[in-house]
Amino acid sequence: MAKFLEILGPGRVSAVIDLKFIALFAALFVSSSDGINMEGKYLLQLKSEIRDVLHNLDNWSPDDLTPCQWNGVNCTSDYDPVVFSLDLNSMNLSGSVSPSIGGLIHLTYLDLSFNQFSGTIPGEIGNCSKLERLYLNNNNFEGNIPPQLGNLVSLFKCNLCNNKLSGSFPEEIGNLSSLMEFVAYTNDLNGSLPHTIGKLKNLAIFRVGQNLISGSIPVEIGECHNLELLGLAQNQLGGAIPKEIGKLRYLAELILWDNQLSGVIPKELGNCTDLVTLALYQNYLVGDIPVELGNLKNLEKLYLYRNSFNGTIPKEIGNLTLATEIDFSENMLTGKIPAELSSIKGLRLLYLFENQLAGIIPPELCALKNLSKLDLSINYLTGSIPPGLQYLPDLIQLQLFNNMLFGNIPQKLGLYSPLWVVDFSNNNLTGQIPRHLCRHSNLILLNLWSNKLSGNIPPGVTNCKSLVQLRLGGNSLTGGFPSDLCGLENLTTIELDENRFSDPIPPEIGQCKALQRLDLANNFFTHELPGEIGNLSQLVVFNISSNDFGGRMPPEIFNCTMLQRLDLSHNHFEGKLPNEIGELLQLELLILSDNMFSGAIPSIIGKLSHLTELQIGGNQFFGTIPNELGGLSSLQIAMNLSYNNFSGNIPPELGNLALLEFLLLNNNYLTGVIPATFANLSSLRGLNVSYNDLTGPLPPIPLIQSMARSSFIGNKGLCGGPLGECGVSPSSSTSPSLREKSTPFSKIIVIIAAAVGSISLVLIAVVLYFMRRPVETMAPLKEKQLYCSASGTHISPREGFTFHDLVAATDNFDESFVIGRGACGTVYRAITQSGRTVAVKKLASNREGSNIENSFRAEISTLGKIRHRNIVKLYGFTYHNGSKLLLYEYMSSGSLADLLHRESSFPLDWDTRFMIAVGTAEGLSYLHHDCKPHIIHRDIKSSNILLDENFEAHVGDFGLAKLIDVPQLKSMSAIAGSYGYIAPV
């Protein structure tokens, strides 16, 4: 041992060596020969635990006298060279890092970054007391940050980012007196930030975003006087932003987004006059935007969106003359848009959407010649669109949807601007569509839905080669289907619904090979569907309901095997439903109601395993209901077979439809009893079997026994429940004389025939005009009554929950009942008196007033109607003294975040992960595309993906995003544009 110490020499042994390290030295010495020196032995021990698939370390040989010629090793150039640098970055190395690294006590530079090292960071690195730069980033290191790093008093750069480190920050970090840059973002670090951080007087960069850090930001951060970048985004930090940050005069970037920070923005931030980027978005900040922010004369990017700021936008923001991007969206800002913003001449992006701003769009904004993205959507703006906007030379995105704008769209819009996205939907705009919108051949999205526009679609739009989505529904546009659209090879969406288009669909429609969504509902299109529809191999949604189409369904349509939603309702289609319908294996919605289809229902429909809604009411189908329909295991929204000529028994197999919520069999010729298997319809919320030939007592099923009498009348042999005791003569209301067996269409024909002799020919013509959709006034009336009832049920759940019931069920919202927290509120698990488990979300909001309550009720009323197997069901709500509670379906397996990040979680195999990913995509697709109005989620993350007992994904928190009718491109532009600003820091 004495010889061992003699070889090392007195100046070569670290002052702190634990027993493990001494043992390692001894082992290395005992096994040594007269070859490689001690530093070489340490490196060979390091190599022995590394997997080197690319053979980068092959020249590390024990036969050398020193390691100074080895790959990645650098030595001093004196007569007794020592290793001062070890650079192994990007060598595809894996394995663990041996504690022998601590023997390299002369190291000043250590870089193991961009490899696949795993295991823990050895604490022995703390023996390398001369280390100045340490790069362990982009590996798979786990465990704690070793407190021994606090011994590295010479360290001025430390990068640990993109690993799997956990645990809290060691207090010893405050000992790194030379530290200038500390980077540890994208790990799983937790606990609070150490108060000793205030001792780091030289610290310039501190980036620990995308971790699990909680607690508050220590006020001692204000003592780091040289700090230039503070990045704490995507953590769980709470409390207020400390005013002491105002002492940081050199601070250039303050990145605190996506935390749980609350309170107001301290006015002291106005003292940080070197600030270039201020990102406070996605927190719980409240109050006014401080006027002192106007002092930040060097500020370029100001992101305050998705908080709860109220008050007005201070005119002092106009003093930020170097600003290029300002985003105040998704707050509760009121008042007018200040004209002073026009002083920010270099402004490229201005997002003020989803606030409560009123007044006109200031014409002064047209002076912002560098403006490329302007989104003022979802406010209360009035007046006309300023004509000057059409002259902005760099404008690519202009979104003004969901306001109260009126007047004409500036007709030169697009002539001088290379527009990509134009969305003016849901306003009161009149006049014609400008013809220059695609002048620069860049236009991707044109959404003018729900205005009062008239005239034809101009050739400048129909010939726009770059166009991907065209949404013009809900206007008064006229003309035929523009055949020029069929030459646009990028076009995926055509929505012309609710206009006054007419004439046949041209056969050129088959040239739209990229088309995925075609919605022509509620127009005056005529004739038969062209067979060329079958060429649309990418078609997912096809809706031509409420037109004047006739003839047979073209068999070519069954070539569209990607179809998920097919709606041909309210037309004059006739003939049998072909067996080829079974080839549409992706079909989710099949809506053929109110036509003149006849014949038997193909049993192969029972093979459509994805079908969630089947609507074929108001036709002339006959025969028995196929038993195979009981195999539609995904059927959830409704099965509507009403107003047909079905006969025979109700198949007991329908009792297998455990997800089904509405079953409509009324106005047919069904016989026999209501099957006892209906007891298995655990999700059923509405049943109508009225006006058939059913007999026997109602099954002793509580749901059926408690239903309204109108669900069963017209069946002279039924009794029990709301129909009264069996054996008692039925009342006159159920007598056969009041039975209505004919289809709604034939009923109206009879009425009109009787009226011919007593009304003028003019009146007959009017009546005949309205006869073109006869079942609108008959069959759907009954359906709509049920659906109105259904929507009411969605608002008030089956059980009569009250606010006080929920208070009792959660012990006054005690913490012990909390199962989750999110940006919109706290979620509690509640068990009702009947034993039913529900999730209760208590919304976080400080808004009050009758207008807020009415708005809340209106939005939830719409959200309650949403039904999809991958969407968390909203059962109901209550609004009491400003407290807003939402009742959701309880998800027993928790959230995806729980399963991915908690150590005790159930392990997910790849099949389950794939199922969760697909289910999430299905739910989001439904929200973004198929809801009317469309709903953009805006906060999709693993904690908002909830899992049932079968690990089926259900998207949650969707209803807490603002209801908007905006296509996915909105989320790709305004939302992605704003939420993609800052990388994890």
Mean pLDDT of the chain: 84
Q: Please indicate whether residue 17 or residue 887 has the higher confidence score (pLDDT).
A: 887
Q: What percentage of the chain carries pLDDT values higher than 90?
A: 68
Distances (CA, A) of 839 to 823, 830, 857: 16, 6, 19
pLDDT at 782: 28
Distances (CA, A) of 404 to 350, 449, 450, 567: 19, 13, 11, 32
Map residue 716 onto helix, strand or coil. Answer: coil
Can you point out the beta strands (E) in 862-936? 874-880, 883-889
Separation CA 836–CA 875 (nearest Å): 12
- Given pLDDT bands bounded at 50, 70 and 90, which one contains residue 829? confident
Residue 231: its H or E element: strand 229-231
Domain boundaries along the sequence of the chain: 1-160, 603-793, 796-964
Write the class of the CATH domain 796-964: mainly alpha
Q: 583-609 as b/e, with b when 16 or more CB fall inside 10 Å?
A: bbeebbbbbbbbbebeeebbbbbbebe
pLDDT at 311: 94
Does pLDDT of 384 surpass 90? yes
Q: Which residues lie below 8 Å from residue 902, measured CB to CB, with a gap of 6+?
A: none
Does pLDDT of 475 surpass 70? yes
Does pLDDT of 469 surpass 50? yes
Q: Which residues lie below 8 Å from residue 680, measured CB to CB, with a gap of 6+?
A: 655, 656, 658
Does pLDDT of 488 surpass 90? yes
pLDDT (tens digit per residue) in 75-103:
998 788 999 999 999 999 999 999 999 99
CA angle 588, 594, 597 (to 5 degrees): 85
- Average the pLDDT over 672-686 and give the result: 93
pLDDT at 22: 47
Q: Are 236 and 821 in contact (CB under 8 A)?
A: no
Separation CA 581–CA 905 (nearest Å): 43
pLDDT at 35: 85
pLDDT at 459: 95
pLDDT (tens digit per residue) in 386-427:
999 999 999 999 999 999 999 999 999 999 999 999 999 999
pLDDT at 128: 97
**What CATH number is given for 603-793 in this structure?**
3.80.10.10
pLDDT at 809: 78
Q: Are strands 452-455 and 142-143 parallel, antiparallel or unpaired?
A: unpaired
Q: pTM of the prediction?
A: 0.77
Tokens, residue 544: 């031509």
pLDDT (tens digit per residue) in 543-555:
999 999 999 999 9
Residue ranges of alpha helices (H) inside 814-904 are 850-863, 896-901
Does pLDDT of 799 surpass 50? no
Q: Are 184 and 211 in contact (CB under 8 A)?
A: yes
Does pLDDT of 747 surpass 50? no
Q: Are 332 and 310 in contact (CB under 8 A)?
A: yes
Does pLDDT of 783 surpass 90? no
- Average the pLDDT over 102-116 and give the result: 97
Does pLDDT of 862 surpass 80? no
Does pLDDT of 798 surpass 60? no
CA angle 28, 29, 31 (to 5 degrees): 70
Tokens, residue 878: 């209550």
Q: Please indicate whether residue 725 or residue 499 has the higher confidence score (pLDDT).
A: 499
pLDDT (tens digit per residue) in 622-644:
999 999 999 999 999 999 999 99
- Two domains, one topology: 1-160 and 603-793: yes
Q: Please indicate whether residue 155 or residue 15 has the higher confidence score (pLDDT).
A: 155
pLDDT (tens digit per residue) in 913-929:
887 888 888 778 777 76
Write the class of the CATH domain 1-160: alpha beta
Q: Please indicate whether residue 71 or residue 937 has the higher confidence score (pLDDT).
A: 71
pLDDT (tens digit per residue) in 171-212:
999 999 999 999 999 999 999 999 999 999 999 999 999 999
Catalytic residue annotation: 939
- Average the pLDDT over 456-466 and give the result: 96
- Given pLDDT bands bounded at 50, 70 and 90, which one contains residue 377? very high
Separation CA 320–CA 296 (nearest Å): 6
How many helices (DSSP H) and strands (DSSP E) are in the chain?
A: 14, 61
